[in-house]
C-alpha cells in the first residue's frame, strides 16, 4: 500500500525475556534479587486516590531534591525520567543534533544504535581492545557526541576515572554521556568530573542497585545548562512522563542509604563467590564490576549452554552477534539462585 512508503521502519531493541514460571531462576535481565527499601513498601500502602486522579508534578520536585541532596548537587543539575532508557532517548534528541556521527563502543548496550537509527543520527562504533576495554584514542577527533556505559554492558568491565576524563576532555565541543546503570556495584562514578566539565552528562537508574526496575526511574546529572536543554526537549515531547507513585517511591528509596548499601554489598559478595565457582567449572570472564558476569566456557559453546539452562528454567542472556556469540551474560542472583545454577552446570559439564 502507498501509505507504507511513509512509515518509519526500524529494527527494534530486543529486551531480555520475561518468563513467569514456578521455580524458575531468572538471571537474564540484571534485576536486583532483593526487594526495594522498606520505606518503599510503606509508601505503597499509603498512596491514596489523589495519586491516580491528579496529574503528577511535571518537575518531580520531591524526587529531584532528594537526589540533589544525596549526590551533593543543586536541583537544577538533576533531570529525571521513566527509567534511564527514557533519559538516554531524550539526551539523544537533545544533544546529538550536529549531523556528525556519534561514537560508542562496538560491544555495548544494544539500545545505542537503535536510538541512532530511530532519530536519524549517524553513528560510528569504536572497537574495544582485546581485553574488552575502551581505547580513548578512538574518541579523539571530529564527532557529534560520545556515549558509553561504565561499567560496560555486557562485559561488566569498568574504566578508570582517568580514562573517562581523557574522553570527556578530548571532546569539549560535544556532549559526552556516561551511562552508569551499574556503577553502584563497585565502579568509580564520573560525578566528580561535573565540577570541571560542563559537557558531561552522567546517567543512572533505580532499576539495578535500588531494586525498582518495575517502577521505571532514571536520572541524569550534569551542568545546569545541559539539564535545562534536556527539560526543554522533554516538555516539548510529554510533560507528564513520571507518575506520582513513582516520584514518591523514588524519594523513599533515596532516603534509605543504609539499605541501598546493604543490598549492593550482598550482590558484590555473591559476585565474588560466583567468580570462584565459574573458574572452577572452566569458565573465563572479564573482571566484572557490575551485577552480572560475562562468561565463556573452555569447551562447551555458549549457545548450547543457553539452551540447556533454559530447559531447566534457568534463564540467562545470549546474543548471536560478532565477538560475543560465545559468551553468556549471567545476572548475579541470590546465593540460593546461584547455587541452583552451579549445581546444574557442574552436572551438565561432567556429562558432556
Confidence check: pLDDT of 1 > 70: no
175 close to 199: Cβ distance less than 8 angstroms: yes
- Same domain for 234 and 335, yes or no, is no
Confidence check: pLDDT of 117 > 90: yes
Quote the mean pLDDT of the chain: 96
For residue 312, being part of any structural domain is answered with yes
Residue 20's pLDDT is 87
144 close to 99: Cβ distance less than 8 angstroms: yes
Contacting residues for 22 by C-beta, under 8 A, at least 6 apart:
none
Q: Which long-range contacts (CB under 8 A, 24 or more apart) does 310-316 make?
A: 312/344, 313/19, 313/21, 313/23, 313/24, 313/25, 314/24, 314/25, 314/27, 314/340, 314/341, 314/344, 315/17, 315/19, 315/24, 315/25, 315/26, 315/27, 315/28, 316/27, 316/28
**β-bridge mates for residue 200, sequence order:** 176
Confidence check: pLDDT of 50 > 80: no
Average pLDDT over residues 27-35: 97
210-258: pLDDT as tens digits: 999 999 999 999 999 999 999 999 999 988 889 999 999 999 999 999 9
The SS3 assignment for 311 reads: helix
- Same domain for 97 and 196, yes or no, is yes
User: How many alpha carbons fall within 13 Å on the CB side of residue 18?
Assistant: 5
125-163 b/e with 16+ CB inside 10 Å = b? bbebeeebbbebebbeeebbbbbbbbbbbbbbbbbebeb
- Same domain for 139 and 66, yes or no, is yes
Q: Sheet with 317-318: list strands edge to edge.
A: 283-284, 292-297, 328-331, 317-318
- Same domain for 27 and 99, yes or no, is no
Q: Sheet with 123-126: list strands edge to edge.
A: 78-81, 218-221, 200-205, 176-179, 146-149, 102-105, 123-126
For residue 1, being part of any structural domain is answered with no
For residue 109, being part of any structural domain is answered with yes
Cell digits of residue 47:
498512596
**Distances 31 to 103, 112, 344 between C-alpha atoms, Å:** 28, 20, 21
**Structural domain of 341:** 16-35+258-350
Domain count within the chain: 2
Cell digits of residue 168:
570527556
- Same domain for 239 and 112, yes or no, is yes
pLDDT band (50, 70, 90) for residue 339: very high
Q: Which residue has the cell 549457545?
A: 303
- What Rg, from alpha-carbon coordinates, does the chain have? 21
Q: How many CB atoms lie within 10 A of CB 34?
A: 15
Q: Which of 19-28, 88-97, 253-262 has the lowest mean pLDDT?
A: 19-28
Cell digits of residue 160:
578508570
- The proportion of the chain whose per-residue pLDDT surpasses 90, expressed as a percent, equals 88
Confidence check: pLDDT of 47 > 90: no
Cell digits of residue 150:
561504565
For residue 304, being part of any structural domain is answered with yes
Q: Which of 201, 234, 255 is the last residue of a domain?
A: 255
pLDDT band (50, 70, 90) for residue 264: very high
Give the closest residue to 202 by CA, choosing from 216, 188, 185, 212. 188
Q: Which of 191, 222, 255 is the last residue of a domain?
A: 255
pTM (2 d.p.): 0.96
- Same domain for 167 and 263, yes or no, is no
Q: Which of 51-65, 157-171, 275-289, 301-315 has the lowest mean pLDDT?
A: 51-65
Residue 24's pLDDT is 95
108 close to 151: Cβ distance less than 8 angstroms: no
d(CA 333, CA 309): 15
Q: Which of 12-21, 170-179, 246-255, 324-333 has the lowest mean pLDDT?
A: 12-21
Average pLDDT over residues 257-275: 98
Amino acid at each position: 500500500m502507498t501509505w507504507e512508503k511513509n512509515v518509519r521502519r526500524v529494527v527494534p531493541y530486543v529486551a531480555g525475556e520475561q518468563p513467569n514460571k514456578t521455580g524458575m531462576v531468572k538471571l537474564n535481565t540484571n534485576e536486583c534479587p532483593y526487594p526495594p527499601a522498606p520505606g518503599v513498601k510503606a509508601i505503597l500502602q499509603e498512596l491514596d486516590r489523589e495519586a491516580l486522579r491528579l496529574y503528577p508534578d511535571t518537575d518531580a520536585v520531591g524526587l529531584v531534591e532528594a537526589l540533589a541532596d544525596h549526590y551533593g548537587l543543586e536541583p537544577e543539575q538533576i533531570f529525571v525520567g521513566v527509567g534511564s532508557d527514557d533519559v538516554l532517548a531524550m539526551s539523544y534528541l537533545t544533544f546529538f543534533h550536529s549531523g556528525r556521527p556519534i561514537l560508542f563502543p562496538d560491544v555495548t548496550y544494544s539500545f545505542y544504535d537503535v536510538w541512532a537509527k530511530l532519530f536519524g543520527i549517524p553513528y560510528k562504533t569504536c572497537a574495544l581492545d582485546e581485553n574488552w576495554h575502551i581505547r580513548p584514542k578512538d574518541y579523539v577527533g571530529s564527532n557529534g557526541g560520545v556515549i558509553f556505559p561504565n561499567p560496560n554492558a555486557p562485559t561488566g568491565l569498568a574504566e578508570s576515572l582517568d580514562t573517562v576524563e581523557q574522553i570527556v576532555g578530548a571532546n569539549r565541543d560535544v556532549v559526552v554521556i556516561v551511562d552508569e546503570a551499574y556503577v553502584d556495584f563497585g565502579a568509580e562514578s564520573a560525578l566528580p568530573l561535573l565540577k570541571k566539565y560542563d559537557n558531561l552528562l552522567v546517567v543512572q537508574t533505580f532499576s539495578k542497585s535500588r531494586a525498582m526496575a518495575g517502577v521505571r526511574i532514571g536520572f541524569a546529572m550534569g551542568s545546569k545548562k545541559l539539564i535545562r536543554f534536556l527539560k526543554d526537549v522533554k516538555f516539548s515531547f510529554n510533560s507528564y512522563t513520571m507518575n506520582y507513585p513513582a516520584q514518591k517511591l523514588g524519594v523513599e528509596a533515596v532516603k534509605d542509604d543504609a539499605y541501598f548499601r546493604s543490598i549492593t554489598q550482598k550482590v558484590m559478595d555473591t559476585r565474588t563467590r560466583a567468580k570462584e565457582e565459574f573458574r572452577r567449572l572452566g569458565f573465563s570472564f572479564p573482571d566484572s564490576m557490575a551485577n552480572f558476569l560475562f562468561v565463556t566456557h573452555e569447551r562447551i559453546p555458549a549457545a548450547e549452554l543457553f539452551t540447556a539452562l533454559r530447559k531447566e528454567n534457568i534463564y540467562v542472556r545470549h546474543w548471536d552477534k560478532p565477538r560475543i556469540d560465545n559468551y553468556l551474560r549471567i545476572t548475579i542472583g541470590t546465593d540460593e539462585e546461584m547455587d541452583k545454577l552451579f549445581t546444574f552446570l557442574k552436572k551438565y559439564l561432567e556429562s558432556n
